[in-house]
Amino acid sequence: MAEAVHADAIQANMLSGDKIDVHDLDFYYGDFKALEDVTVGIKRNAITAFIGPSGCGKSTFLRSLNRMNDLIDGTRVEGTVLLDGKDIYAEDVDVVDLRRRVGMIFQQANPFPLSIYENIAYGPRIHGLRNKAELDTIVEDSLTKANLWKEVKDKLGQPGTDLSGGQQQRLCIARVLAVNPEVLLMDEPCSAIDPTSTQKIEDLMDKLKDNFTIVIVTHNMQQAARVSDYTAFFLAEDTNLPAKLIEYDMTDIVFTNPTDKRTENYITGRFG
């Protein structure tokens, strides 16, 4: 049965050409089923937003796309997650390389207690780069891509933690870009920063999608409507029940003409 699902998934992926294809994913915390039957295709070079009320499993789902949940004891995944057609939960997968390809930005900006330069150089260094000139280039490139270079180019030696909240978040984006990922997973990247900084990050996302596939979890529906090309709405009907993917479509359609009543109720602010 599982093998058959797997084969179906691969075939579907070959047809769609999606960057990430998830088929019939169930997610468990111990005995509790947190997600049920999630099937979704994440488009290349587009921004996909996951929306839904708190506790609807959207962050859990996001973290299952680069196996960050592996770090939590007692979690388990059933179903298939394909990245470029390859199952990321297969036994021969190198999780370390997977996480390099699928980078993650967190809700709380979390620069290391190191200098700005060392924060960016961290990733390339752990992947074996020693050459100072190359590191310099990567640091400048990454900060430039993250629209931060102009603000910090004269103080690369200062602690990353001295930057403002919004700058710290862009530093974290630059840090991930430095290891040359293909997908960026963003877990409510703007929920802890001010509107001006949020604007900067949204502009940045729009620029980055030419070269990356971006998935963002957000509580802010205006943000989802502004930045994303596709939107997925998650909902757990009750705290004891697993969350499900209720609706997934192009953002315009989800926000203007949703098929499911529950989606409409949520985006018009009737709950959540």
Partner 1 sequence: MNFLKWRERALESVFLICALTAIVGVLLVFIFVTIKGFPIFEKVGVLKFLFSLDWSPSDNQFGILTFIIGSFLVTAGALALGAPMAIMTAIFLSEIAPKRVQKLVRPAVELLAGIPSVVYGFFGILIIVPVVRTLFGGSGLGLLTGWIILAIMILPTIATISEDAIRAVPKSFREASFGMGATRWQTIWRVVLPAAKNGLIGATILGMGRAIGETMAVLMVLGNAPIIPKSLVGPVGALTSIIALNMSYASGDHQTALFGMGIVLFMISFFFVALIRFVSRKRS
Positions that interact with partner 1 (CB under 8 A): 66, 68, 71, 73, 96-101, 103-104, 106, 108, 110-114, 122-123, 125-127, 172, 175-176, 179
Nearer to partner 1, 44 or 125 (CB): 125
**Residue for token digits 């996909």?**
48
CA distances from 205 to 87, 101, 125, 144 (A): 27, 17, 25, 13
Number of H helices, E strands in the chain: 11, 10
CB of 15 to partner 1, least distance (A): 30
CB of 137 to partner 1, least distance (A): 18
What is the distance between the alpha carbons of residues 227 and 249, in angstroms, rounded to a whole number? 14
Nearer to partner 1, 108 or 265 (CB): 108
What b/e string do you get for 117-156 counting C-beta neighbours within 10 Å, with b at 16 or more? bbbbbbbbeeeeeeeeeebeebbebbbebbbbbeebeeeb
Task: List the one residue out of 243, 237, 209 whose CA is nearest residue 57.
Answer: 243
Phi, psi of 259 (to 5 degrees): -80, -35
Nearer to partner 1, 97 or 134 (CB): 97
CB of 241 to partner 1, least distance (A): 28
Return all residues near 242 (Cβ < 8 A) that are at least 6 apart. Answer: 26, 33, 34, 35, 36, 57, 236
CB of 152 to partner 1, least distance (A): 18
CB of 62 to partner 1, least distance (A): 11
**Residue for token digits 């102009």?**
150
Nearer to partner 1, 127 or 153 (CB): 127
CB of 184 to partner 1, least distance (A): 10
Nearer to partner 1, 98 or 143 (CB): 98
CB of 99 to partner 1, least distance (A): 4
Answer for the pair 233, 248: CB distance below 8 angstroms, yes or no: yes
Nearer to partner 1, 58 or 100 (CB): 100
- In degrees, rounded to 5, the angle at the alpha carbon of residue 192 between the alpha carbons of residues 187 and 196 is 110
Nearer to partner 1, 121 or 245 (CB): 121
